[in-house]
Amino acid sequence: AKRLAGKTILITGASAGIGKATAQSFAEASNGDIKLVLAARRLEKLDALRDELSAKYPKLKVYPVILDVSKIETIEPFFKGLPQEFGTIDVLVNNAGKALGLDPIGSVNPKDVDVMFQTNVLGMIQLTQLVVAQMKQRNKGDIIQLGSVAGRNPYPGGGIYCATKAALRSFTHVLREELINTRIRVMEIEPGNVESDEFSLMRFRGDKSRAKKVYENSEPLTQEDIAELVVFAASRRENTVIAESLIFGTNQASAYHLYKGS
Ligand code: 8X3
């Protein structure tokens, strides 16, 4: 917890799911002795999270801010427009991301292709470029990437989503290599099935029973389980890099079985 003291932590997709749980976990682990930049599309959810966290941790500084990472051209103005107090990023958590549908290749709506790549890949790259340039000047910082088992273990119906997470994985590897002689740490966390606020609901476009079916007959991970790992990675000793973590619930060992026959 001491290792987190005073840090400024930027989390994308912070209004729900793993991003929200990560904000809560960082606040708890540091007992509020950090600054959080909470970025997402829905400001009212971020404001509510700020109120919740500020009530619990009086020392905590929170800056809720609108960011849609799929709108690439808005990312630089967002980053440059951060108030000075929140403008120097120690930890970037690239969490914003989504899967849309399980359509076979040939039937994927081109709009869905665009949105998944814009959100999971292009926006993530643009934000990372800006933050890395700043971290290089200071020769320190942590970049924590939310990858997925899907990036290693592609499955039928995941043609686009899996490709986005493979792209993230490749980009992340290059970044770690390029920064090898710096104090900047690059880490990737690759969850399997996580029953989070909205991921499955978004994938199945609001179909609640279909969204729930993914988690049947298993004990899926929760968003808090992943948040714990993010905070763990960020709070290791400076010379330690949790480079890659594939994380499953006990009933999962790969991605494919989840979608077989579904
Ligand atoms: C989410 C995990 O298995 O739905 O990234 O692709 S999975």
Q: Ligand 1 centre and the CA of 183: distance in Å?
A: 31
Cβ contact 48:82 at 8 Å: no
Q: Which of 7, 111, 161, 215 is catalytic?
A: 161
ipTM (interface pTM) = 0.93
Task: For the domain covering 2-259, report its CATH number.
Answer: 3.40.50.720
- Atom number of ligand 1 nearest to Cα 199: 1
Residue 57 known to be catalytic: no
Q: Measuring from atom 4 of ligand 1, which residue has the nearest CA?
A: 193
- For residues 136-155, average pLDDT: 97
- For residues 38-66, average pLDDT: 98
- For residues 157-183, average pLDDT: 98
- Atom number of ligand 1 nearest to Cα 200: 4
pLDDT band, residue 261 (cuts 50/70/90): very low
The Cα-based distances of 119 to 69, 84, 204 in angstroms read 6, 26, 17
Amino acid 1: pLDDT: 63
Residue 71 known to be catalytic: no
For residue 84, is pLDDT > 80? Answer: yes
pLDDT band, residue 254 (cuts 50/70/90): confident
For residue 258, is pLDDT > 70? Answer: no
Amino acid 259: pLDDT: 55
pLDDT band, residue 262 (cuts 50/70/90): very low
For residue 260, is pLDDT > 90? Answer: no
Q: Measuring from atom 6 of ligand 1, which residue has the nearest CA?
A: 150
pLDDT band, residue 251 (cuts 50/70/90): confident
Domain ranges of the chain: 2-259
Pocket of ligand 1 (CB under 6 A): 148-150, 158, 192-193, 255, 258
Q: Ligand 1 centre and the CA of 258: distance in Å?
A: 9
**What pLDDT, in 10s, does the model give residues 210-244?**
999 988 888 889 999 999 999 999 999 999 999 99
